[in-house]
Amino acid sequence: METIKKIDIIVPCFNEGRTLDIFVDEVTRAVSSVAGYRFTYIFIDDGSTDNTLEKIRSFACQEHTAATEQDVGKAAGIEVRYISFSRNFGKEAAMYAGLKASRGDYALIMDADLQHPPQLIRQMIDKLEETGSDSCAARRVSRKGEPRIRSVFARMFYKIMNRFSDIEIVDGVVDFRLMSRQMVRAIVSMPENQRFSKGIFAWVGFETCWIEFENVERIAGESKWSVWGLAKYAVDGFIDFAVSPLKFVGVFGGITAVGSMVYFIAEIIKTIIVGKDVPGYASTICLILFFGGLIIAILSVIGEYIGRMYLETKGRPVYIEKESNIDEEIKPAS
């Protein structure tokens, strides 16, 4: 007899009260037709301030009645587990918590706003079986409906990232991904505090197959990303996976230092031959300013890395749990 494999659907939620009903409806419908697999929801409430947690709790209750009375509830027959954070720790922390809690043969991460089409789940499973890969990831081939400026910066970010870091991040990759247990274990074993999942997925290796889809706009609510938030995400991602800025400023500093030495020697020779040249005042000031600026720039890049080291060495947990139904116990805040 063919064994039934388990897939955990990990859903990070931050103020998604308005989308969750439709989300669960659609996803449950999409996965109920997939034979040979059993699904479990793992909702991560990332410190929402709306009714997200109540919604999730109610799904968990419905699941129990559905199981006993054969009732077709919202999450009919699909087990619902959840973890609720003590505050908003960010999507990265939520994904990490979900992966950590996952026990299935596969883990599937997807957004709660239906920007990741549930119909693709089936295709992902088929493709994974077909190719025997460890992971199947979705890639947006269009950014339709997204603010233009965001697309431009995102493209630029991936270009720079791939050029200067050791990892290759595919343009348009989203956090919609099906992964084998082995890959999940590898990701969970990376305990870093400042997580950049797109980089981590690439860094752990394993074979990944891709499916492509057109961008979909979120069904309700709004994107949690501000311009500032996205810029910070880009810088964090880059710094987490590339040490080349350090090398770059080092080389740049070296070249300017050698250049200024040459200039200095040339000036001395010139003074000896031609005599004192008082109008050199302006160029001196220019040089002082140039080097002052350069040193500050270099220091700030180094500072970014040291700041990160400082935060990592504190060894703080990635998230703090306030409530959960995993292992059938409600855990107090720790």
Binding site residues, ligand UDP, CB under 6 A: 12-14, 16, 46, 88, 90-91, 94, 111-113, 115, 218, 223-225
Question: How many other β-carbons are positioned within 10 Å of the β-carbon of residue 67?
Answer: 14
DSSP state of 42: E
Which residues here bind Mg ion, judged by CB under 5 A? 113, 115, 218
- Which residue number, 57 or 245, has a Cβ lying nearer to ligand UDP? 57
134 binds, among Mg ion, ligand UDP, none (CB under 5 to 8 A by kind): none
* Nearest partner of 235 among 319, 165, 136, 331, judged by Cα: 165
16 binds, among Mg ion, ligand UDP, none (CB under 5 to 8 A by kind): ligand UDP
Q: Which residue has the tokens 């079986």?
A: 129
- Which residue number, 218 or 308, has a Cβ lying nearer to ligand UDP? 218
324: β partners = 83
Rounded to the nearest whole angstrom, what is the least distance from the CB of residue 202 to Mg ion in the complex?
21
225 binds, among Mg ion, ligand UDP, none (CB under 5 to 8 A by kind): ligand UDP
- The edge-to-edge listing of strands for the beta sheet with 5-13 is 208-213, 135-140, 173-180, 106-109, 5-13, 37-45, 79-85, 321-324
Rounded to the nearest whole angstrom, what is the least distance from the CB of residue 20 to Mg ion in the complex?
13
Rounded to the nearest whole angstrom, what is the least distance from the CB of residue 232 to ligand UDP in the complex?
12
DSSP H or E run through 207: none
Buried b (16+ CB within 10 A) or exposed e, 8-22: bbbbbbbbbbbbbee
Rounded to the nearest whole angstrom, what is the least distance from the CB of residue 178 to ligand UDP in the complex?
17
94 binds, among Mg ion, ligand UDP, none (CB under 5 to 8 A by kind): ligand UDP
